[in-house]
């Protein structure tokens, strides 16, 4: 229980790893390296409470005021390389950290589009500073165009409508959130946004953001222009792993760190957790990157136990879980639906005040339950979630 550990990344996955190590009795040196200067904070409220002015920085703190993990903090420092043979993490100021084990918890960065665009008024949302810059532009009456209909884009759209902005969501697919939720549930959320006055353009690509200093319009690939004062690029996230190139750590096709069910990488004494990791996921039946708050928390415990040589859980013992709050409604999903799954509503209806349902995938040997979903039905959702058992799902993409 002695030695030293460098945790690269000081958000939820990194802080939770340090907390888990201490919980297991590790009393060696832990160094937490964070690219941001802020103390660790929770990210889900960035698109909701923080953006709406309903929460401040202190409300998002991941550490309690009286919590002391006994770690060495290196904040505002970015990792630039890993030398496993020397057990060293290289930093952007020329310094380095030597440790017996390294945990990669660097998360992901917001994906950007190579679009012609003005310098100001075009935003991404991943960090506290991103949220503050975006919030400063969300003035009542302003015209916001959200490019991308994923969960971040939809949550920002809902928050911005509550702040009195005119909002348009541009989604390249048939409807926002369809890949993650299937057409039935995605259709419910589409109707919810339109009922609250959001214009949703589906099946549309974006080729430019017009404007000299600030946006004036978003140009679609069919030639139409949508007036805009503010633009949010919400087109996903890219694993923050460029600093590992040349280290010998194997990366998956999407750039995440490939690791086993105990979050071990291809290099001894190097582990990976959270949004930067693609683990051998028991429930999903293979390598999978899961970008959920709960996954970062769970993998931190898995990696800490494995690092210390203790018995513990493995990645995917529990199904993936996430929630999304929009317009005062809470959507919850556990598991991961597959294309073509059949959704059966076991309580409520998609046209009613809420519902709970089960996704099933047909296989040659019978139906496999892949996920459960609910809108404003927390109790039946909890019951259905408990019924999900970790199992390999056939033909599931990594």
Express each pLDDT in 63-100 by its tens digit.
Answer: 988 899 999 999 999 999 999 999 999 999 999 999 99
Express each pLDDT in 306-358 by its tens digit.
Answer: 999 999 899 999 999 999 999 999 999 999 999 999 999 999 999 888 999 99
Q: Which of these, 226, 230, 249, 220, lies nearest to 143 by C-alpha position?
A: 230
Contact 385, 369 (CB under 8 A): no
pLDDT band at residue 395 using 50, 70 and 90 as cut-offs: very low
pLDDT band at residue 362 using 50, 70 and 90 as cut-offs: confident
- Rounded Cα distance, 70 and 29, in Å: 8
Mean pLDDT to the nearest integer, 364-381: 93
393 pLDDT above the threshold of 60: no
Tokens representing residue 180 in the block:
């993650």
pLDDT band at residue 396 using 50, 70 and 90 as cut-offs: very low
Residue for token digits 């017009």?
210
Provide the residue ranges of all domains of the chain, joining segments of one domain with +: 4-109+237-307, 112-233, 337-386
* CATH match of 112-233 with 3.50.50.60: yes
Q: Which CATH architecture has domain 4-109+237-307?
A: 3-Layer(bba) Sandwich (3.50)
pLDDT band at residue 391 using 50, 70 and 90 as cut-offs: low
What's the 3-state SS for 159-214? Answer: HHHHCCCEEEEEECCCCCCHHHHHHHHHHHHHHHHHHCCCEEEECCCEEEEECCCC
Express each pLDDT in 189-242 by its tens digit.
Answer: 999 999 999 999 999 999 999 999 999 999 999 999 999 999 999 999 999 999
Express each pLDDT in 106-120 by its tens digit.
Answer: 999 999 999 999 999
127 pLDDT above the threshold of 80: yes
What's the 3-state SS for 254-267? Answer: CCCEEECCCCECCC
- Same CATH fold, 112-233 and 4-109+237-307? yes
pLDDT band at residue 389 using 50, 70 and 90 as cut-offs: confident
The pLDDT value given to residue 363: 83
Tokens representing residue 364 in the block:
């040659």
The pLDDT value given to residue 390: 66
Q: Which of these, 25, 44, 52, lies nearest to 330 by C-alpha position?
A: 44
Q: What is the DSSP letter of 370?
A: E
Q: Which of these, 231, 65, 64, 234, lies nearest to 149 by C-alpha position?
A: 234
Express each pLDDT in 348-358 by its tens digit.
Answer: 999 888 999 99
Average pLDDT for the chain: 95
b/e sequence 136-168, b meaning 16+ C-beta within 10 Å: ebbeeebbbbbbbbbbbbbbbbbbbbbbebbbb
Q: Which of these, 113, 92, 76, 91, lies nearest to 207 by C-alpha position?
A: 113
């Amino acid at each position: 229980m002695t030695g030293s550990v460098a945790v690269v990344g000081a958000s939820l996955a990194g802080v939770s790893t340090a907390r888990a190590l201490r919980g297991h009795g590790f009393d060696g040196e832990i160094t937490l390296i964070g690219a941001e200067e802020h103390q660790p904070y929770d990210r889900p409220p960035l698109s909701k409470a923080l953006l709406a002015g309903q929460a401040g920085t202190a409300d998002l703190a991941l550490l309690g005021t009286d919590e002391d993990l006994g770690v060495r903090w290196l904040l505002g420092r970015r990792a630039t390389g890993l030398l496993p043979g020397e057990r060293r993490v290289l930093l952007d100021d020329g310094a380095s950290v030597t440790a017996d084990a390294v945990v990669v918890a660097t998360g992901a960065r917001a994906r950007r589009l190579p679009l012609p665009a003005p310098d100001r008024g075009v935003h991404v949302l991943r960090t506290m500073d991103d949220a503050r810059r975006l919030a400063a532009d969300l003035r009542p009456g302003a015209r916001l165009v959200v490019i991308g209909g994923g969960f971040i884009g939809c949550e920002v759209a809902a928050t911005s409508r509550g702040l009195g902005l005119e909002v348009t969501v541009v989604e390249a697919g048939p409807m926002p959130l369809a890949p993650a939720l299937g057409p039935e549930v995605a259709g419910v959320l589409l109707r919810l946004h339109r009922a609250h006055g959001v214009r949703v353009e589906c099946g549309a690509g974006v080729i430019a953001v017009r404007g000299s200093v600030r946006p004036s319009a978003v140009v679609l690939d069919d030639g139409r222009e949508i007036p805009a004062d503010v633009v949010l690029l919400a087109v996903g996230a890219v694993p923050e792993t460029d600093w590992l190139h040349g280290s010998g750590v194997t990366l998956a096709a999407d750039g995440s760190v490939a690791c086993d069910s105990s979050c071990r990488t291809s290099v001894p004494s190097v582990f990976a957790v959270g949004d930067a990791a693609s683990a051998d996921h028991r429930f999903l039946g293979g390598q999978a990157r899961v970008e959920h708050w709960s996954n970062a928390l769970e993998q931190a415990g898995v990696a800490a136990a494995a690092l210390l040589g203790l018995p513990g859980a493995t990645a995917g013992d529990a199904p993936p879980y996430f929630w999304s709050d929009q317009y005062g409604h809470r959507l919850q999903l556990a598991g991961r639906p597959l294309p073509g799954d059949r959704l059966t509503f076991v309580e409520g209806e998609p046209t009613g005040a809420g519902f709970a349902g089960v996704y099933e995938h047909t296989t040659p040997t019978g139906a496999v339950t892949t996920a459960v979903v609910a809108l404003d039905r927390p109790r039946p959702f909890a019951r259905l979630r408990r019924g999900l058992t970790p199992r390999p799902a056939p033909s599931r993409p990594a």
